[in-house]
Amino acid sequence: MNLSDLTEFLVKCLVSDPDSVAVKQLDDEDMITIEVLVSSDDMGKVIGKGGMIANSIRNIVQASSRLNDGARVKINIDSF
């Protein structure tokens, strides 16, 4: 499972409308950027109180990256 699929799976488990989740991966030389788009109604569910859920998603994806290839991962979460 690649990093964007892992991120998409984690986010879709949290939101009430999983069909509205869009995940896009951008590879750079030394960093992988993952863009996550969710509906504005689900933004609070993905961010969590004080950003705890978003930080947990980032930690899980970063740990998976370290186990596979060691690339740094940046996850941006936005709503539409």
Tell me which CATH homologous superfamily contains domain 3-79. K homology (KH) domain (3.30.300.20)
Nearest Cα to Cα of residue 39 among 58, 56, 53, 19: 19
Q: Residue holding tokens 């109604």?
A: 41
Nearest Cα to Cα of residue 77 among 59, 55, 62, 60: 55
Q: What is the mean pLDDT of each run of 10 residues along the chain (80 residues)?
A: 93 95 92 96 95 97 90 93
